Structure 1
Amino acid sequence: MSLWACGTDGPNIQFDSQFRSRVLMALQKAIVENFQEHDWKEFGYATGHQDFIRSHKRLLRSLNWQDEDHGGCVFDFLEYLVNRDVAVLYKMVEHHKLRPYLEKHSLDVLSELGLSEAHVPALPLPQISASDVDRRALADAESLLVSNGATSAVDRLHTALHGYLRSACADAGIAVAADASITALLKTLKTEHPGVKELGVHSAELVKVLNSFGNIVDALNTLRNHASVAHANENLLEEDEALLVVNAVRTLFNYLVKKLG
């Protein structure tokens, strides 16, 4: 159930208490991590709630002094909005400093609110068996996706997948050429890794699915070289198409990490 539905006078809020708690907790974390004093004042004047922010005895002071009670003060403001002006809570979710954080850390909440784009979940880095360089490339890709958009993330995601495939082959004792391409590595993994060779009773159809991902990886290689910020390319991927590539690669990543352990 969506938390709100837009009407002529703004969002029409229908709270489920458990879901409300999840929304407030997600917002509180986002605010604590991202809001500075000028953000509070700007938001207050933009929404007409500057008096509450200015008169709260601890909200700005605890922020400036980095006191432990700051998180509780943020909850004071959020609870005030729930009771007085829930439509502004919606504006806070959409704030340019908070929305990227929520996309990264609370995508499930945004999805239930009906506000998220169709993102395939990112991978928790501790689950990735790869070198520090490859882990860093994946972290960079996720960061760029949030800060600069999907087009900027394609190159680093290519690097991360390339490194992961090489590590997966090495972990399984599969010999590959030092200069093996990302396409060659995936093909070798599909044909030689015991964890991928056994696909169950519907293996014939699943092989077709994996082969389709082979085509995706081959296209990723070309797009990385000719349509990403990896090089001085004039014709970059549009954001929607770049997000399609990012989601496809994330899907493959998620499958392989779970399948290979």
Structure 2
Amino acid sequence: MKNQKIPDHIADDDGLFGRFKIALSEALAVSMDESEWKKFAVRYGLRDRIIGHERFIRSLQWGDADHEGHVLDLIEQLSYSNVPAFLDLVERPNVKRALKRKDPEIFDIWQHDVDPVVTALSHSLGEVAAVSSVIDLKTHIERIEKALPDDPYLAVGATKDLLEAAMRTILTNRGHTDVRKLHFPELTSTCFNELGLSPQTPPASKGEGHIRKISSNARKMIETANELRNLTGTGHGHVVGTEEELSVEDASLVASNGLILAAWILKKAAP
């Protein structure tokens, strides 16, 4: 069984968990037949709760409207009194297909654990008015969030795409042409020069000098993210299974820093 417990990001959110239980009950009502329910009842010691219930099986046999309600009552009980039985129902292939049809968003939320750092940063980034006025980062952020923790390689690639989109947008909005022809290192140099963050430009004060050092390190981080993506990520003719090993923790570090850097350069570029 994939999940050994109810995911924390669902169990800790009463509203989300309630929504999931409703969607699950709807999926079970259309995907579980009488035989499956009876086998399930025997396996988990739920004979009295299902087979001996006055209406549970009868409402299923007659296709009565109250069957879904009886399923919901059972799901509510199992969610706190018999979690293994609850998870058994969730992980059944026919139930998962029905759940995905009923509520694709809640299905995806169940399937993917969330990275708390990336999620917090992405929400903060989405709320920055100066950023949202320059570029809509929603699609890139969603790709990063969905990639973790199951696909660290995709997370790094999505982070590189996010940074690239941010820099191309900055240059385009400032009148640069043919920015799509720029390779990543040249794109980064051009963007930082445009923002007055080039190390060749003398700082106006000691404080600005320190900021230049920070921006120089930020630029190195952006360039390194691209290099890591080329080494471990998708594309570039890599043979599947031969990529450099990349841990979820390292991918999370790249993704969280990428979100911070994207916000920083976009705020720098905002009028």
Identical counterparts, % of pairs: 15
Q: Using the alignment, how far apart are the partners of 1:254 and 1:51 within structure 2?
A: 57
The reply to whether residue 28 of structure 1 matches residue 18 of structure 2 is: yes
Q: Name the counterpart of 1:187.
A: 189
The reply to whether residue 171 of structure 1 matches residue 168 of structure 2 is: no
What runs of 5+ residues in structure 1 fail to find an aligned partner? Answer: 1-19, 108-115
What runs of 5+ residues in structure 2 fail to find an aligned partner? Answer: 1-9, 97-105
Q: Displacement of 1:117 after TM fit?
A: 5.2
Q: 1:195-232 CA deviation, whole Å, 9 max, x = no partner? A: 9999x994433332222121111112212222112231
**Which TM-score applies when normalising by structure 1?**
0.55
Q: Which of 211, 223, 243 is the aligned partner of 2:252?
A: 243
Q: Name the counterpart of 1:101.
A: 109
| CA pair 241-195 structure 1, distance change in 2 beyond 3 A | closer
| CA pair 43-119 structure 1, distance change in 2 beyond 3 A | farther
**Which TM-score applies when normalising by structure 2?**
0.53
- Partner of 1:119, secondary structure, is helix
Q: Name the counterpart of 2:214.
A: 209
Cα RMSD of the aligned pairs, angstroms, is: 5.3
Which is bigger in relative contact order (C-alpha 8 A, separation at least 6)?
A: 2
Q: Which of 257, 261, 264 is the aligned partner of 1:252?
A: 261
Q: 1:17-73 CA deviation, whole Å, 9 max, x = no partner? A: xxx99721122234556774269x799999877976886979xx9xxx9x9xx89x8
Alpha carbons 1:172, 1:193 under 8 Å: kept: no
| CA pair 22-177 structure 1, distance change in 2 beyond 3 A | closer
Q: 1:108-163 CA deviation, whole Å, 9 max, x = no partner? A: xxxxxxxx6543532549937458xx8655543433335x3222222233223212
Q: Any residues of structure 2 matched to 1:102-251 within 5 Å, and which?
A: 118-119=117-118, 121-122=121-122, 123-124=125-126, 127=132, 129-130=134-135, 136=139, 138-145=141-148, 148-174=150-176, 177-193=179-195, 202-231=207-236, 232-233=238-239, 234-239=242-247, 240-251=249-260
Q: How many residues align?
A: 215
Alpha carbons 1:141, 1:153 under 8 Å: kept: yes
Larger Rg belongs to = 2
